[in-house]
């Protein structure tokens, strides 16, 4: 992309991520195939291999998958400003939508029907989160350390109700000291 | 002053956000509902339903909403930037330095342990939502149906599943 006007490239990136942010409902994972189609197949900004690398790294770092992918992709194509504007583009649509919802939230949530709708969705979320958990369990390669860590964190969370931030930190430290990786 | 507090709080949550939006619930719940009382339990649960069915990352959507409830539009903006700020810097550092973080042995040990903790966080998230939101057997039954549908029909878009559940809730709860 070096031959093109950098401002033009940044504007292109901005519009791609803006589009992706509007049309992908349901968290970062839903965005991945859409972004891949645009970046790799249509615009040829990235090779298949580069995209896979970006995805695998974005997944293992903290934060929203969307922000991580936007930062990485944006930087690779157009440097720091590319990363920044990709992130801004991916933030504006959800920020606007949620702010609008928050403005009218107080009025609408008083309706019994809206409450029932929300409760129905929540029931669906509980079902899906259970499904996601089960799938992750199946994928985890358990060894003695991981079984111990699972039981230990379970105890801290469900019995002692420790702040989950500390459980993550304790788990991370134990992993670094005693774990074996995957 | 509150804006600075909002910013720092969401920075803290952003940097610990591993394993996708759903694993953030327990952390956000502990911090903003139980410790800081920034938002009520009921509003938090309704917001989860909204965040899951609107565009945008779930953790980011929750941050925006909580920020707005605290300090209007500026609060929403600051909370959202706070939530994304440190992950953005970390990601930038990784890209610029071209460190092969996925091949780093210590990072692998770190990550595989954190993902085990994420399992517990997800279980706790489901427990929190059910305990806080379900008042009779019907939502539990619907959850079970959603769980089975989610596992059985791999092609079904999870968003449609949630919307169907919402409509069932509207007419049956």
Give the whole-number percent of chain A exceeding pLDDT 90: 84
Same domain for A38 and A99?
yes
Give the pLDDT of residue A25: 80
**Position A28 pLDDT exceeds 80:** no
Q: Which residues of chain B have pLDDT under 50?
A: none
Residue with tokens 């799938």: A135
Domain count, chain A: 2
Name residues 133-162 of chain A within 8 A of B (Cβ).
133-134, 136-137, 140, 145-146, 149-150, 153-154, 157-158
Beta bridge partners of A25: B55
- In this model, does residue A2 exceed pLDDT 60? no
For residue A85, the enclosing domain spans 6-108
Is the domain of B94 the same as that of B107? yes
Angle at B161 between CA A34 and CA B140, to 5 degrees: 145
Dihedral sign of CA atoms B56, B59, B61, B67 in order: negative
Quick one: A95 and A152 in the same domain? no
* Domain match, B75 and B48 both: yes
Check: pTM over 0.90? Answer yes or no: yes
pLDDT tens digits, A122-176: 999 999 999 999 999 999 999 999 999 999 999 999 999 999 999 999 999 999 9
Identify the three-state secondary structure at position B55.
strand
Question: Is A28 domain-assigned?
Answer: yes
* Token couple for A2: 């070096």
- pLDDT tens track for B89-118: 999 999 999 888 888 999 999 999 999 999
Interface residue A118 vs chain B (CB under 8 A): yes
CA-CA distance, B108 to A176, in Å (whole number)? 8
B89 and B139 belong to one structural domain = no
Per-residue pLDDT, A102: 96
Residues A48 and A119 in one domain: no
For residue B95, the tally of other CB atoms under 10 A from its CB is 21
Interacting residues of B144 by C-beta distance below 8 A, sequence separation 6+: A127
Residues A122, A159 share a domain? yes
Of A90, A108, A126, which one is at a domain's C-terminal end? Answer: A108
Do B54 and B37 lie in one domain? The reply is: yes
Restricting to A residues 57-116, those with a Cβ less than 8 Å away from any Cβ of B are: 57-58, 60-68, 71-72, 75-76, 80, 83, 87, 91, 93-95, 97-99, 101-103, 105, 109, 113, 115-116
Range of the domain at B33: 2-133
* Whether residues A102 and A12 fall in one domain: yes
Band of residue A6 on the pLDDT scale cut at 50, 70, 90:
confident
Same domain as A103, residue A14:
yes
Q: Does A1 reside within a domain?
A: no
């Amino acid at each position: 992309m070096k031959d093109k006007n950098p401002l033009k490239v940044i504007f292109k990136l901005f519009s791609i991520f803006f589009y992706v942010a509007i049309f992908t409902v349901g968290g970062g994972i839903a965005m991945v195939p859409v972004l891949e189609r645009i970046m790799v197949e249509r615009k040829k900004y990235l090779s298949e291999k580069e995209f896979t690398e970006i995805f695998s790294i974005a997944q293992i770092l903290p934060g929203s998958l969307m922000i991580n992918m936007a930062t990485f992709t944006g930087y690779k194509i157009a440097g720091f400003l590319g990363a920044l504007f990709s992130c801004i583009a991916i933030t504006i649509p959800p920020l606007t939508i949620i702010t609008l919802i928050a403005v009218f939230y107080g009025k609408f949530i008083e309706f019994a029907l809206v409450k029932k709708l929300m409760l129905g969705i929540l029931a669906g979320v509980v079902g899906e989160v259970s499904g996601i958990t089960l799938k992750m369990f199946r994928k985890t390669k358990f060894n003695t350390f991981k079984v111990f860590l699972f039981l230990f964190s379970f105890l801290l969370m469900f019995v002692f109700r420790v702040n989950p931030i500390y459980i993550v930190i304790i788990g991370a430290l134990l992993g670094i000291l005693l774990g074996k990786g995957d | 002053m509150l804006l600075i507090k909002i910013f720092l709080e969401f920075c803290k949550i952003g940097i610990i956000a591993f394993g996708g939006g759903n694993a953030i619930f327990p952390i956000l719940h502990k911090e903003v509902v139980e410790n800081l009382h920034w938002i009520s339990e009921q509003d938090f649960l309704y917001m989860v339903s909204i965040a899951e069915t609107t565009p945008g990352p779930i953790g980011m959507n929750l941050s925006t909403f909580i920020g707005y409830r605290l300090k209007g539009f500026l609060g929403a903006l600051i909370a959202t930037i706070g939530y994304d700020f440190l992950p953005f810097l970390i990601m930038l550092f990784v890209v610029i330095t071209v460190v092969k973080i996925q091949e780093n042995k210590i990072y692998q040990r770190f990550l595989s342990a954190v993902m085990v903790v994420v399992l517990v966080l997800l279980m706790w998230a489901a427990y929190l939502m059910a305990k806080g939101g379900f008042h009779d057997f019907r939502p539990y039954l619907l959850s079970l149906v959603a769980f089975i549908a989610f596992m059985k029909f791999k092609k079904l878009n999870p968003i449609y599943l949630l919307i169907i559940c919402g409509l069932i809730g509207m007419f049956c709860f």
